[in-house]
Structure 1
Amino acid sequence: MHTTTDPSSDPALLDTLAQMPAQLQALARALPPHRHAWRPGSDLFSLLEHACHLRDLEAEGYQLRIRRLVEEDLPELQEIDGSSWAVERDYQAQSLDEAMGAFAAHRARTVALLADTLPRHAGRKGLFGGFGIVTLGELVRGMAAHDASHREEIAALVAAAAQVA
């Protein structure tokens, strides 16, 4: 069994991940309800699509990848096309409150899983599509970066919505 630690096992990183659902809630409160499904551009997500994407990626992407990295030797980790999911799963017709609630529940499970596995398995490796070989620690840092990009996009969406109010 490969066991190693790296800087990604820092508890502050898990705290950062754990805070994302509350940050999403705060951003959602800054947007009027009639703008929850509004897109600032044809190729950009609405707040509702962001929430659904985060929910589904958490459960069907991150949790699966983490388990496979810990349990398998050099697993092939699947990439996810979030834009395709948005259309195929009709994110625009879903409930924002339900999506945010499910995301919060899934993220809590992910953080608990990582709290248990990351300190011992941060160096476990997998083959992740176009990214090549990644460790569990790198995957976790990527999750934090993905969260940051969604916060930035949603903040921009909120600002754009204020301009068209």
Structure 2
Amino acid sequence: MHIFDHLLAMPDELKNLFDDFPSLLFHQEPESWDGIPGERFAITGQLCHLLDIEIQGYQHRFHRTVNETMPELPSLDGYLLAELNQYKQADPKQVLMQFRLARLQTVKMLKALKTEDYSRRANFGSYGEVSLLGLAHLLRSHDLQHLACMHWLRMRLLYSTEL
């Protein structure tokens, strides 16, 4: 399935974008968050959020969807996770490595499923009823949202007149 290729590409996409940021900006927040296409996290916070949502969100959601009948999958409060997991003190390079390993684990789990498992369904917050394969596409959508956030931060922190 092509979705696996897209999911597996994310760690490299993330690293390539991250490598373009000067280290002094890893924890820098813009003066204004107007227009950001997602959560208001600095670069390191974006990475931490992706890692937390990968492990505590999607890996858990996939597992429950395969093993339960029509589970109710809760959304996670990203800002609460940021506070609890101290995103502002995190080492972004370590987080990138952890994300790579977590994503490999996610895709390995998905590839090991039987074809009929991809049709299993769950209720997922405001998305409503969704199949397991649909959840995989939502994960990719989440990836793209946070890549967009990082591009937005690059624009705001490096190329904005506010600096």
Q: Normalized against structure 2, the TM-score is what?
A: 0.89
Please state which structure has a larger fraction of its residues in helix. 1
Moved over 2 A (4+): 40-43
Q: 1:29 aligns with which of 19, 22, 28?
A: 19
Q: How big is each residue's C-alpha offset from its partner over 1:122-157, in whole Å with a ceiling of 9 and x where there is no partner?
A: 110111122221110111111111111111110111
State whether structure 2 residue 153 is matched by structure 1 residue 157.
yes
Instruction: Give the aligned CA root-mean-square deviation in angstroms.
Output: 1.5
The secondary structure found in structure 2 opposite 1:122 is: helix
What is the correspondence of 1:132-143 to structure 2 with a 5 Å cutoff? 132-143=128-139
Contact 1:118 1:137 in 2 (8 A): no
1:25 corresponds to which letter in structure 2?
A: K
Which residue pairs with 1:6 in the alignment?
A: none
Residue ranges of structure 1 left out of the alignment (5+ in a row): 1-10
How far did residue 118 of structure 1 move?
Answer: 6.4
Q: Normalized against structure 1, the TM-score is what?
A: 0.88
Which residue pairs with 1:91 in the alignment?
A: 87
User: What is the CA–CA distance in structure 2 between the aligned matches of 1:157 and 1:118, rounded to whole Å?
Assistant: 40
Aligned length: 155
Q: 2:106 aligns with which of 105, 110, 113?
A: 110
User: What is the CA–CA distance in structure 1 between the aligned matches of 2:111 and 2:29, rounded to whole Å?
Assistant: 36
CA distance change for structure 1 residues 134 and 118 in 2, over 3 Å: closer, same or farther? farther
1:15 corresponds to which letter in structure 2?
A: D
Fraction of identical pairs, as percent: 28
How far did residue 120 of structure 1 move?
Answer: 3.0
